[in-house]
Structure 1
Amino acid sequence: MKSKQFIHFLSIIPLLTGSFLTMTTAQANDNELGLTVERIYADPSLDGPELRKVKLSPDGKRVTFLKGKVEEQERLDLWEYNLADGESRLLVDSNDLSPGEEQLSDEEKARRERMRLFAKGIIDYYWGDDSQTLLFPLAGDIFVYDLSKDPKKATKQLTNTEAYETDIKLSPDGRFVSFIRDQDIFKVEIATGKETQLTFDGEGAIKNGMAEFVAQEEMGRLTGYWWSPDSKKIAYLQVDESPVNIEKRYEINAEDFTVFEQRYPSTGTDNVLIKLGVLNLETGKTQWMDTGNETDIYIPRVKWLADSSKVSYQWQSRDQQKLELRFADIKSGKAETILTESSDTWINLTKDLHFMKNQDAFIWTSERSGFRHLYLYDLKGNLIRQLTNGDWVIDKVYGVDEESGVVYFDANKESPLQQDLYAVSLNKVDEPKKITEKDGVHEVSFAKNMQIFVDYFSSVSQPKQVSLRNADGSLITWLEENTLNKNHPYYRYYQKASKPEFGTIKAEDGQEMYYRLYKPVPFDSSKQYPVIVDVYGGPHAQRVRNQWGARNTYWHHLMASKGFIIFSLDNRGSWNRGKKFEDPIYKKLGDVEVKDQVAGVEFLKSLPYVDEDKIGMFGWSYGGYMTIMSMFKEPDIFKVGVSVAPVTDWYLYDTHYTERYLGHPESNAKGYEASNVFPYLNGLKGDLMIMHGMADDNVLFTNSTKLFKALQDANKPFDMMNYPGSKHSIWGQKTRTHVFNTITKYFEENLK
């Protein structure tokens, strides 16, 4: 297994010195739209004013948010909107506290990559329950802002160390700030600045309160510790990485390279050992919770019960076909299983567990019907009632207003292209009531009292808007209306841009698949045009929605203005359509997904304005994998492909993701072989460009170098463009500009 995963740096030097695609920065051809890749990635942002991390104070009197500087959109400052005077004002300028470029620790760099967070300055913040205290990290230290003080004296620095403090949290009572430093948990008292170390054995392979690699990358869990509601205890996970293979990972920069010895749990190999403990802050002692005799498990979620007497955790089997919700008594550590979910394929994780404060009950979501729906249980695990049902999907539970007996959630009840806020009764069987009105995608954030919420909304004709609304959906005020008028930075381009068309086609099993199509501008129905299929195609993603797609939208508009049709199809296996739609990919990847994309092309061929001899494909990550598989398996259909950061060998990817869909390599060796790209490479006929970040710690650069060598050995010509120092997202203004100029030029030269 180990020999299949990593290639020594010296063995790839020939690839790096002689095989790059030679080019200068591609200049956009004249087009009626007037848009260029350079403008897409320049400041000010074409998105218009963007508010990030919008949060409501606990008392509902203020709305705070992060906002980029006009001259540097990715450097964020802390702002507030005060409901009393209706004014927005800057609270903290990040340049005042940390001028210049922030030096991140390796741990923080990796953590931000997992979060797909590329901003600088103040990247997050937290409200204290007193509605006067704001906490935020900056440049590796911790700061507190006190709204009751003079603005010039309101900011207080709590830590000032060489070490990098991460994963900071406020205690529920607002007295303490906790954080991780050097693999241990610490707290500091806000009033006095007194710092206390809480765990002491974090070193080497032992990490306290930290999320392991697969938890961060695949489970959506970026923390490993949780305050109890009464602020007297902290539940935390202790991770022992010693069973995980140590692999050498090379991060190749422009002028040098770094060798990282990383514990990477590639599929089929050992995971971390994990324990759940509860630390009593008065005694300093940890009581370990019973997690069973089986150690080859996952603990994807931990959450306290409302009265702080028990802590819940979700126990997941290695094959991810069983998920148990367990409650552990914090005094004895004894745990009991409250409910169990099982599947013949896999169980999707959520963050939807919600414990009631005024009754012994909790909200749970389950896909047992084939679609994710709401269920109400008592604390013994007895089902009280199912709250929602139907052939539609709940995406997220936002909270419960116990006084009104209402649960708020978002769902695609009206159409898979939409996402709306709904409310449903806790106390009786009733139809959900739709709260949001505009057609498109709504994502919301409620105040603690569930009386008001922030609504993030966008559609294909409206960049993201942010409004403050009452629980019934009525408007209180716009925080950022972002109207697409003459003053908007994208207005002059949008007036001439292609507008998307949506529709459905049938998969071979009869299920409907949604597509989006951009026609060239100007469009002549008597002509035939080349097509770029922009694909992702993998699980837990939905590309086709009535939503503003930011920079993807702009590039689609640009390519349409250059005479290309841009087509996207959500094939079976993708997200937000229910388990029947997802499950066909189980035990064999790159099979039904490619068949469905071919079905999409067959639909395109039925259109008189499509040149069926000029079909190309572009994709990133799983989409990069899909591009290669489509080019290899269907070379007579897909003539040109650009694949960015592709998986090529599933043995190189991690346990939690890969085994979820392919199972363990020992039990599904044929499935792994059929899912890798190498058995099909002799099919390549067209023009293929492969691009990869040379410091990618998610889809390792080895995926591409292994394919480079295989294609060379097979005497198959191809092109490559690799990016020194870049990780999976290949981020950075100059870098992204080069990436998309390269992609644009490749399609212009080879597909037209």
Structure 2
Amino acid sequence: MKPLTLAAALTLGTCLTAPCQAQTTTETAPMDLTFERVFASPGLDGPTPRKVKLSPDGRYLTLLRNRADDRERYDLWAYDRNAGEWAMLVDSEALGSGRDLSEDEKMQRERARVGSLKGIIDYQWTKDASGVLVPLDGDLYLARLGGETVQLTDTEESELNPALSNTGAYVSFVRDRRLWVGETGGEAQPVTPKEGEDVRWGEAEFVAQEEMARLTGYWWSPDDRRVAVERFDESMVGIVTRAAIGATGTKVFDQRYPVAGSENADVELYVMDPDGNNRIKVDLAAHQQPGIYTEGDPTDFYLARVDWAPDGSALYVQRQNREQTVLDMLKVDPATGESEILFTEQAAIEDYWINLGDDYKWLDDGSLIWWSERDGYGHLYRYDDLSSMPEEERVHTSTDGTLNVLLGSWRQLTRGPWVVSKLVGVDQDAGHLFYLATSEEDPLEQHIYSLDYTDPSAQSQRLTETGYTHSATMDGKGQTLVITRSNDDTPPHSYIADQQGQRLAWIEKNALDADHPYAPYLASHRPTQYGTIEAEDGTPLYWEMVTPEMEPGKRYPVYYYHYSGPGPQIVNRGWNGALRQAIVDKGYIWFALDNRGSNYRGVAFEQPLYRAMGGVEVRDQKAGAEYLKTLEFVDPDKIAIDGWSYGGYMTLKQLQADPGLYAAGVSGAPVTRWELYDTHYTERYMGTPQADGEAYTAASAIPEATKITDPLLIIHGMADDNVVFENATEVISAMQEANVPFEMMLYPGYTHRVSGEQISPHRYNTVFRFLESHGVTPPE
């Protein structure tokens, strides 16, 4: 009998939060926001649950919920569908040891962008739904639903990448550079050798974590009989001496950091039994195409993704060449390690790259749902593996008369001048897939769509309401949607929906009622305006703006926020939190613009960054500033720019390119010379310093640093392991040696994430004191 799913059992409109209240707004006297309140607890966005999951038996809905008195600390909560009650399953403060995390775990959290979170940041259900594996304070716990909690590890060193195997028979983790495995509830043992400081098993190498969004280095087979394990040797990778300068002392770390043009770690992949026996090496270098992979070095490629076939019969490995223009899908025999190329994905156009992602799924019938930009936009395709068919049935005559033996066939599932941003789930029984995408009409909203992938004539169906931007996840069988939505006036709220997108129950309604933390500031909440301007080639560039209550005839300063680099879409119709409102409350216009190179606009929109960082983005942002100067309510002499990371780099490049255009600039944690940044990210866009030296010279923020004449504030965390502190010291030194004035705020002990309940307001108060000191102030 088919088990009852939560989606089928919950009544339409049921509220899973307590108490369940109607969404209302309360008018109060206007109340200005301070930066201290923006970053204090409770968070002004309201409750922000994470990691919403359904237990394997469908009875429990679990999530991580942050505390009202500590917005960064998360506990594990469970909703019992039978009892209709919420309960805290694991109290992170009561259970945790308070032990400091190891340096490895701290850095891994930084690379996963969860470094600010405390308590429980992840968990995993057992296969029989009897309990949950919970990592906490560097150790592992097994929390049973009956109330019993078993501590599985108790060590000074953190257990990294903990996981339950697919059948739930084993618990595995990485400790002391080795993979450890034990029966669930039992004692784990190392199953890989210890080979010194530079060799690690079961972990992802630095660039995989930081740039490829691959945070693990081992993968259990579906039946738990075998496990694929990465081994990497980073002895050849250059060392960056990272001085983590703190308030009361300095710790020095010799960090293996592969800067652009230097050697990467040597990565290998093995398949072994759970006890480490019967280990075989996977042939990752097979069938490398001359001229595409580095000649003379068969190890110079990236291990991008690893997946098991649903029946465990094969291992699928995505191998990316160093230039990131070619990705081979290898099909590996796990018994022998032998591999063959199933298909090859190439960059959509010349002078472009391959954007890695996780929007693919191997199906039980051996076919693959695959995301690709091959037609100029990110879309979904279905690939059918024909390799098991007799060869004579796979012979195909190409247009030039050549006979080819087909390994597989392709069918495009979605198409159009818009972008699929996520494969949400697949219901294989019904032949339906669910995805998140922009629309041709509005790239600033994202919606959930469903599609019958078995019917070539089927049309996609939008499941979500316009006026919001959405994100979503699904259970493994593609039955139940977990949807989060927001807009500029509605903080994120989440609910469970059926396959038609109909809401079944609220997870977190987050109503802007009288009890909401943001309620005291609703009266002064200002609407967001949107528009477009044209780039130099006529491409429309989207902007958004929030203005204070303005008096006729007065002109206002602009806080011009920018990131500008490849990837993030800054301008969208989602909730943007209270920070921008606090800036507007101070009397500033908040403005942002997405330049060419940013995401969700297709290949042609991203491509101009190729071998040309610090060029087109500067000109597009300049177009935004020039547009602002045409507005009668903008003070043309008071446009200040502020950016972090790539945005910090852009502040430097913009001030260098157009002296006098901006009233002041804030450069946070900037890359100043791309030779100092890592291989995978930098070489994707810029090539190598050896082969593309002119592009690196043109992109550098160092040679023309002394041309900066506008007020400049540089901010950097002194323990930054991502954009290492040397980036800041180079530009600081260049300007000091030329007697060029600038200002500086450094944060001892902080990494690339300079944030916290006290540090964040300090940072923003520093920024606005800097602006005020240079006359970038609201009208009297």
Task: Please give the TM-score of this superposition, normalised by the length of structure 1.
Answer: 0.93
Map 1:126-205 to 2 at 5 A.
126-147=124-145, 149=146, 151=147, 154-191=148-185, 193-205=186-198
Partner SS for 2:72 = strand
Partner SS for 1:39 = helix
Map 1:466-615 to 2 at 5 A.
466-520=494-548, 522-550=549-577, 554-615=578-639
Q: Do the aligned residues in 1 keep the contact of 2:131 with 2:142 (CA within 8 Å)?
A: yes
Which residue of the partner structure matches residue 394 of structure 1? 420
Given candidates 665, 688, 703, the residue that maps to 2:689 is: 665
Separation in 1, partners of 2:677, 2:37 = 35
Map 1:365-514 to 2 at 5 A.
365-380=371-386, 381-413=407-439, 414-429=441-456, 430-514=458-542
Which residue of the partner structure matches residue 18 of structure 1? none
Map 1:89-128 to 2 at 5 A.
89-98=87-96, 101-117=98-114, 118-128=116-126
1:642 is aligned to 2:666: yes
Which residue of the partner structure matches residue 740 of structure 1? 764
Partner SS for 2:71 = strand
Separation in 1, partners of 2:662, 2:195 = 52
Residue 507 of structure 2 aligns to which amino acid in structure 1?
Answer: L
Which residue of the partner structure matches residue 641 of structure 2? 617
Which residue of the partner structure matches residue 208 of structure 2? 215
Separation in 1, partners of 2:656, 2:30 = 35
Partner SS for 2:704 = helix
How big is each residue's C-alpha offset from its partner over 1:532-558, in whole Å with a ceiling of 9 and x where there is no partner? 2100000111100111122xxx22212
Separation in 1, partners of 2:704, 2:582 = 33
Identity fraction in percent: 42
Given candidates 336, 342, 354, the residue that maps to 1:347 is: 354
**Residue 438 of structure 1: how far off its partner (Å):** 4.5
Separation in 1, partners of 2:429, 2:377 = 28
Kindly tell me: are residues 432 and 626 of structure 1, through their superposed partners in 2, closer, same or farther at Cα, counting changes over 3 Å?
A: same
Separation in 2, partners of 1:79, 1:438 = 31
Q: Do the aligned residues in 2 keep the contact of 1:296 with 1:318 (CA within 8 Å)?
A: yes
1:362 is aligned to 2:368: yes
Partner SS for 2:476 = coil
**Residue 486 of structure 1: how far off its partner (Å):** 1.9
How big is each residue's C-alpha offset from its partner over 1:726-749, in whole Å with a ceiling of 9 and x where there is no partner? 000112211112111111222233
Separation in 2, partners of 1:102, 1:732 = 19
How big is each residue's C-alpha offset from its partner over 1:166-210, in whole Å with a ceiling of 9 and x where there is no partner? 10011111121110011111112124x132321113432111010
Residue 742 of structure 1 aligns to which amino acid in structure 2?
Answer: T
Q: Do the aligned residues in 2 keep the contact of 1:182 with 1:202 (CA within 8 Å)?
A: no
**Residue 282 of structure 1: how far off its partner (Å):** 6.3
Which residue of the partner structure matches residue 79 of structure 2? 81
Q: Do the aligned residues in 1 keep the contact of 2:30 with 2:522 (CA within 8 Å)?
A: no
Which residue of the partner structure matches residue 59 of structure 2? 61
Which residue of the partner structure matches residue 693 of structure 1? 717
Which residue of the partner structure matches residue 307 of structure 1? 311
Which residue of the partner structure matches residue 714 of structure 1? 738
1:319 is aligned to 2:323: yes
Separation in 2, partners of 1:453, 1:689 = 45
Separation in 2, partners of 1:72, 1:533 = 30
Partner SS for 1:110 = helix
Separation in 1, partners of 2:716, 2:40 = 22
Given candidates 725, 737, 747, the residue that maps to 1:723 is: 747
Separation in 2, partners of 1:162, 1:412 = 46
Q: How many residues align?
A: 711
Separation in 2, partners of 1:438, 1:66 = 28
Separation in 1, partners of 2:543, 2:409 = 39
Q: Do the aligned residues in 1 keep the contact of 2:99 with 2:137 (CA within 8 Å)?
A: yes
1:42 is aligned to 2:43: no
**Residue 267 of structure 1: how far off its partner (Å):** 0.5
Separation in 1, partners of 2:566, 2:90 = 39
Partner SS for 1:679 = coil
Residue 487 of structure 1 aligns to which amino acid in structure 2?
Answer: D
Separation in 2, partners of 1:140, 1:670 = 46
Q: Do the aligned residues in 1 keep the contact of 2:191 with 2:276 (CA within 8 Å)?
A: no
Which residue of the partner structure matches residue 676 of structure 1? 700
* RMSD (CA atoms): 1.5
Residue 729 of structure 1 aligns to which amino acid in structure 2?
Answer: R
Residue 385 of structure 2 aligns to which amino acid in structure 1?
Answer: L
Which residue of the partner structure matches residue 335 of structure 1? 339
Map 1:27-38 to 2 at 5 A.
33-38=31-36
Which residue of the partner structure matches residue 9 of structure 1? none
Q: Do the aligned residues in 1 keep the contact of 2:32 with 2:524 (CA within 8 Å)?
A: no
Partner SS for 1:488 = coil
What are the ranges of 5 or more consecutive residues in structure 1 without an aligned counterpart?
A: 1-30
**Residue 262 of structure 1: how far off its partner (Å):** 1.3
**Residue 571 of structure 1: how far off its partner (Å):** 0.2
Q: Do the aligned residues in 2 keep the contact of 1:182 with 1:203 (CA within 8 Å)?
A: no
Worse-matched range after superposition: 280-289 or 165-174: 280-289
Separation in 1, partners of 2:662, 2:170 = 58
Partner SS for 2:110 = helix
**Residue 722 of structure 1: how far off its partner (Å):** 0.1
Kindly tell me: are residues 743 and 102 of structure 1, through their superposed partners in 2, closer, same or farther at Cα, counting changes over 3 Å?
A: farther
Worse-matched range after superposition: 85-94 or 204-213: 85-94
**Residue 678 of structure 1: how far off its partner (Å):** 1.8
Partner SS for 1:73 = coil
Which residue of the partner structure matches residue 3 of structure 1? none
Separation in 2, partners of 1:207, 1:744 = 45
Separation in 2, partners of 1:197, 1:713 = 53
Q: After the TM superposition, which segments of 4 or more aligned residues of structure 1 sit over 6 Å from their partners?
A: none
Partner SS for 1:111 = helix
Q: Do the aligned residues in 2 keep the contact of 1:166 with 1:179 (CA within 8 Å)?
A: yes
Q: Do the aligned residues in 2 keep the contact of 1:454 with 1:468 (CA within 8 Å)?
A: yes
Partner SS for 2:219 = strand
How big is each residue's C-alpha offset from its partner over 1:316-349, in whole Å with a ceiling of 9 and x where there is no partner? 1111111111111111211111111222321100
Which residue of the partner structure matches residue 13 of structure 1? none
Separation in 2, partners of 1:256, 1:163 = 22
What are the ranges of 5 or more consecutive residues in structure 2 without an aligned counterpart?
A: 1-28, 287-297, 387-406
Q: Do the aligned residues in 1 keep the contact of 2:428 with 2:477 (CA within 8 Å)?
A: no
Partner SS for 2:424 = strand
**Residue 121 of structure 1: how far off its partner (Å):** 1.2
Q: Do the aligned residues in 2 keep the contact of 1:573 with 1:585 (CA within 8 Å)?
A: yes
How big is each residue's C-alpha offset from its partner over 1:49-98, in whole Å with a ceiling of 9 and x where there is no partner? 22111111123222101112222121211101122233211111112212
Partner SS for 2:109 = helix
Separation in 1, partners of 2:641, 2:556 = 14
How big is each residue's C-alpha offset from its partner over 1:583-633, in whole Å with a ceiling of 9 and x where there is no partner? 101101111001000111121122111111211100111111111111111
Q: Do the aligned residues in 2 keep the contact of 1:417 with 1:440 (CA within 8 Å)?
A: no
1:627 is aligned to 2:651: yes
**Residue 526 of structure 1: how far off its partner (Å):** 2.1
Kindly tell me: are residues 397 and 84 of structure 1, through their superposed partners in 2, closer, same or farther at Cα, counting changes over 3 Å?
A: same
**Residue 524 of structure 1: how far off its partner (Å):** 2.2
Residue 422 of structure 1 aligns to which amino acid in structure 2?
Answer: Y
Residue 364 of structure 1 aligns to which amino acid in structure 2?
Answer: W
Q: Do the aligned residues in 1 keep the contact of 2:563 with 2:570 (CA within 8 Å)?
A: yes
Partner SS for 1:495 = helix
Q: Do the aligned residues in 1 keep the contact of 2:30 with 2:523 (CA within 8 Å)?
A: no
Task: Please give the TM-score of this superposition, normalised by the length of structure 2.
Answer: 0.89
Separation in 1, partners of 2:259, 2:668 = 21
Partner SS for 2:524 = coil
